[in-house]
Structure formats: structure tokens, C-alpha cells
A = this chain, B = another copy of it.
Amino acid sequence: MDTLTAPQVITSENLLKHWQGHRALTRRVIEAFPEKEFFTFAIGGMRPFSQLTAELLSIGAPALKGIVTREEGAYNEADAAKLTTKAEFLAKWDEATAQINTSWKQLKTEDFSETFNLFGQYEFPIIENILYFIDNEVHHRGQGYVYLRALGIEPPFFWERY
């Protein structure tokens, strides 16, 4: 049995689909916020959802680009922090979706177990860094669900990943 036909716990293609499914749901959560509350509403001293989204934008596409080019540029949230409207965030989100798809094509199955020092700071196997991006997004999006509920807004269904 050669490499290509060997059974996989998850294939690279399906891991991308899984991540982009989560990203589609996060996009719906951004859309669900009223314009003002996206930038201002928070609970218990936490960041508003715009700032959580700025973090996600500063990880996903740039982090994956760092991984496939093996460039250890520092984490930089400055660009995403400059966005001032939901429309700008959504446009940047869609741009990142395309960038992630492009970068992903450069990942080979054997790359996932290689160690890479992401942002010059997080030295882990690439699969662990990628799972961290996804988990961090699910974590912060779950917080966004509480913000929406506190605002009396019904969040999208958790299984809406298209």
C-alpha cells in the first residue's frame, strides 16, 4: 500500500474543509452582530467581538502563510485592528478564506508532523499549530455566542458550516 492510498485519520483535504466550515460559521457570527455592538459590547472586561475577530484574522491566513513559506515573522495584529466597519472585517475575512485555500495547496501530508517555530514563538509540529488556530477560533466564537445571547440575538446553529 503506498502513501497515497494508506488510510488516514483525517486527510489534508478534509482538515481544510473542516477549518473552512468553522470559518464560514464564524463569518455568520460576525454578521449577526449589530454594527455598533460588534465594536463595543463585551462582558466581564473581555474584548468586544471585533477585537476577537481581529485576533483570528491575524492568525489564520498569515500563520498558514508563515507555515508554508517557513518564514517566522512575528505575530502582528496592527492591520486587522485598523478595520472600522463590519463590512471591512467581512471583506478581510473573505480575503483570508481565499489565502488559506491557496496556502493549503502547498502543504504535503508529511509536512504536518514537521516542527515549525510559528511567529518565531510557538515551536510545535505544524498539525498542532493548525489545530490551535481552529480551537482558538471555536473558543472565541463560543464567547461571541454569549455576547449575542446577552444582546437578545439568536446565534447561528453550531452545525451551520457552509
Contact = CB atoms under 8 A, between A and B. Distances in A.
A27 interface: no
Interface in A45-60: 45-46
Interface string A133-162: 011101111110111111110000010000
What copy number does this chain have within its complex? 2
The prevalent SS among residues of A at the interface is helix
Nearest to A1: B3
Interface string A40-80: 00011110000000000000000000000000000000000
A112 interface: yes
A7 B14 contact: no
Interface of A: 1-3, 6-12, 14-15, 18, 22, 43-46, 108-110, 112-113, 127-128, 131, 134-136, 138-143, 145-152, 158
A43 B150 contact: yes
Contacts of A138: 135, 138-139, 142
Nearest to A139: B142
Given A8-B112, A138-B139, A127 B3 contact: no
A150 B8 CA distance: 42
A117 B28 CA distance: 28
Contact of A11 (B9, B44, B151): B9
A17 B147 CA distance: 31
Nearest to A135: B138
